[in-house]
């Protein structure tokens, strides 16, 4: 399992995304970001994605 907390990518939020693969986690982060933080596809820049992947932990 892999996981990442919203806090790890610079927000003040306790949401944690978990999944079997990096892609699954990133998909959850994407949905959460859009629903809760009002982000759009334009906010998911390559830099942001790299930061999120770097912050990802094996759970």
Residues near Zn ion, by CB under 5 A: 6, 13, 15, 36
59 close to 8: Cβ distance less than 8 angstroms: no
Contact between 2 and 21 (Cβ < 8 Å): yes
Q: For Zn ion, give the closer residue by CB, 22 or 28.
A: 28
Q: Report the distance separating Cα 49 and Cα 44, nearest Å.
A: 6
């Amino acid at each position: 399992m892999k996981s990442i907390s919203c806090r790890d990518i610079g927000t003040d939020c306790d949401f944690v995304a978990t999944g079997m693969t990096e892609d699954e986690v990133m998909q959850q982060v994407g949905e959460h970001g859009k629903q809760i933080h009002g982000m759009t596809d334009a906010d998911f820049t390559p830099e942001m994605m790299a930061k999120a992947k770097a912050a990802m932990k094996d759970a």
